[in-house]
Chain A
Amino acid sequence: MAKGRQYFGDGLAYLNPSDLKGKLIVIEGTDGVGRSTHIELLQEWLEVQGYGVITTGWTRSSLMSKTIESAKQGNILDHWSLSLLYATDFADRLEHQIIPALRSGFIVLADRYIYTAFARDTVRSGEPTWIRDVFGFALVPDLVCYLRIDADTLALRVLESNGMDYWESGMDLRLGADLYDSFKKYQTLMIEEFDKMAEEFKFEVVDARKSLEEIQEFLRSKIQPMLKDGRNRGLARVPVPVGTPAPTEGS
């Protein structure tokens, strides 16, 4: 039998994680790879099967989302404050959303996780120890799927959708003369960091240039075996509402 859930490093000293029976599934990948679309599809797929699902996303805590927004508008230049703001947001969501959901046997779909913070801080500071220590209180996830893309394709996709954003272009790092150059250099560095982590933390890597259906298929094939295993360990099953069509895909 597995040891049960664990903390990444120095955990929450006041909370024993071993009885958190739900599943924590992380989708990582840079902006513009389609994470949120896939999470929506996964949520629907899981809910139709009767599982209790919550989603949680980077900087979405009620405590911090406004603070982070206003900080990004203005004057934070140091990587410590920025990373600590992310860590505070993450801690708030961990303690108020993720842990309660896991305790009740829910499946938690996390749109980005600590690895995003690791990549961003390491690109800025050049050393990974501190940021990993800071996030020591995070729970080790059951599965990390990484939607990998190259910087060229990513640049095109981002330009086609929302355009390039100051922070996603790493403009605070002054890597390039303009937004495009900076974006390319920054995202290349980020992808390098993610690639290193993919090996170290055993991510399930999928090429984000594949079709939406292919990627979704891949994600489901990785999640499916965990559910079988989880049934014996008390994943919450929510009764399917009357009138919901029977699941047709992903059986």
Chain B
Amino acid sequence: MTPSTPPLRTFGQPHAFPGKLIIVEGIDGSGKSTQLLLLQKWLESRGHNVFFTEWNSSDLVKETTKKGKKSKSLTPTTFSLLHATDFASRLYHSILPPLKAGMIVLADRYAYTAFARDAVRGVSRAWVRKLYNFAVQPDLAFYFKVPIDTAIARLLGGTRGQFKYYEAGMDMGISQDVTESFKVFQSRILSEYDKIVDEYGLTVMDATREIEEQQDEMRTVVTKALEHYKPKRGGYGKRTAVFWRRFGLSKPE
């Protein structure tokens, strides 16, 4: 690092909980969810207690977001605040408890998603960063970087078939054509992500490569990050070992 590089931004101090927080970021079609799912299976197969959480999923604001989207009365600011509320609620109910209990928490999207999306929708970049100041600093943050055309090809070729209204930024009046709107909107998000990667020092993954190649690299990075991690075990692991011993067998991996 050259002396002129500004220090990386964080959400306050790194957390002091025994667990680990690993997050993935990227636009739709970057393959980040697939990679995270594979990582989860791998970690579980290695005997870790893993907790998974994803963006915009708490019951509290799901209904309201749906209502606001339906009546199209959401503004960039209320849109941003609703997602922050959802995030706060998930942080409190789903992320902090397993981190405190010493589990590995995997999050599909984190506050960086809001930084990118909300800025494109027109809210102040400084404001949205302050909004999420209560967030926990992740131990590891992956950004799956992909060209827009690759993402579109994946989404259209996959099971989803079509773009969602807000994901395509259709509310922004960019274009009547959903694919065109998606392309413009998500391209703007990509350029916001590029800034965020530098600002917060995210680990960039080349998301155009084969799934296995990416997963191998991800596992290497995660293994290194977990070097000093001491997993805590609940009673369950012990009891299965006792269970298998009855049959004169050791616990299967």
Which A residues are closer than 8 A to B by beta carbons?
Answer: 9-14, 62-64, 66-67, 71, 75-78, 80-81, 84-85, 87-88, 91-92, 95-96, 130, 133-134, 136-137
Q: List 9 A-B contacts (CB under 8 A).
A: A12-B77, A13-B122, A63-B78, A78-B89, A78-B91, A84-B84, A84-B85, A88-B85, A95-B78
Q: Which of A10, A62, A63 contacts B130 (CB 8 A)?
A: A10
Range for the number of chain B residues in contact with chain A: 20 to 34
A85 to B74, CA, bound (A): 14
Q: Which of B75, B76, B81, B126 contacts A84 (CB 8 A)?
A: B81
Q: Which of A62, A87, A95, A136 contacts B75 (CB 8 A)?
A: A95
Chain A proximity of B136: nearest CB distance (Å): 12
Chain A proximity of B76: nearest CB distance (Å): 7
User: Is B236 engaged at the interface, CB distance under 8 Å to the other chain?
Assistant: no
Chain B proximity of A246: nearest CB distance (Å): 41
**B88 surroundings in chain A (CB, below 8 A):** 78, 80-81, 84
A78 to B73, CA, bound (A): 27
A125 to B188, CA, bound (A): 36
A67 to B63, CA, bound (A): 8
Q: Are A77 and B92 in contact (CB under 8 A)?
A: yes
Contacts A81-B85, A81-B89, A84-B88 given: A136-B122 contact, CB under 8 Å? Answer: no
Which B residues are closer than 8 A to A by beta carbons?
Answer: 60-61, 63-64, 67-68, 73-78, 81-82, 84-85, 88-89, 91-92, 122-124, 126-127, 130-131, 133-134
Q: Are A136 and B130 in contact (CB under 8 A)?
A: yes
Q: Are B82 and A88 in contact (CB under 8 A)?
A: yes
Chain B proximity of A97: nearest CB distance (Å): 12
A81 to B89, CA, bound (A): 6
**Mostly helix, strand, loop or mixed at chain A's interface?**
helix
**B75 surroundings in chain A (CB, below 8 A):** 91-92, 95-96
Closest to B90 in A: A81
**Mostly helix, strand, loop or mixed at chain B's interface?**
helix
A188 to B88, CA, bound (A): 28
Closest to B88 in A: A80
Most A CB within 10 A of own CB, among B64, B76, B122: B64
Chain A proximity of B221: nearest CB distance (Å): 30
A134 to B81, CA, bound (A): 9
Closest to B121 in A: A14
Q: Are A11 and B85 in contact (CB under 8 A)?
A: no
**B73 surroundings in chain A (CB, below 8 A):** 62-63, 92, 96
Q: Which of B61, B64, B77, B82 contacts A95 (CB 8 A)?
A: B77
**A137 surroundings in chain B (CB, below 8 A):** 77, 124, 127
- Going nearest first, the 4 A-B pairs with the smallest beta carbon separation are A10-B127, A80-B88, A133-B130, A78-B92
**A63 surroundings in chain B (CB, below 8 A):** 64, 67-68, 73-74, 78
**A10 surroundings in chain B (CB, below 8 A):** 124, 126-127, 130
Chain A proximity of B171: nearest CB distance (Å): 13
Q: Are A133 and B133 in contact (CB under 8 A)?
A: yes
Closest to A88 in B: B81
Most B CB within 10 A of own CB, among A63, A66, A71, A78: A63
**B67 surroundings in chain A (CB, below 8 A):** 63
**B92 surroundings in chain A (CB, below 8 A):** 77-78, 80-81
Chain A proximity of B66: nearest CB distance (Å): 11
**B74 surroundings in chain A (CB, below 8 A):** 63
Contacts A10-B124, A71-B60, A91-B75 given: A133-B85 contact, CB under 8 Å? Answer: no
A76 to B91, CA, bound (A): 12
Q: A63-B73, A81-B89, A92-B75 are in contact. List 11 more A-B contacts (CB 8 A).
A: A10-B127, A12-B124, A78-B89, A80-B134, A87-B81, A96-B75, A133-B130, A133-B131, A133-B133, A136-B130, A137-B127
Q: Are A133 and B60 in contact (CB under 8 A)?
A: no
Q: Are B78 and A11 in contact (CB under 8 A)?
A: no
**A78 surroundings in chain B (CB, below 8 A):** 88-89, 91-92
A243 to B77, CA, bound (A): 44
A13 to B127, CA, bound (A): 9
Q: Are A91 and B81 in contact (CB under 8 A)?
A: yes
Chain B proximity of A20: nearest CB distance (Å): 16
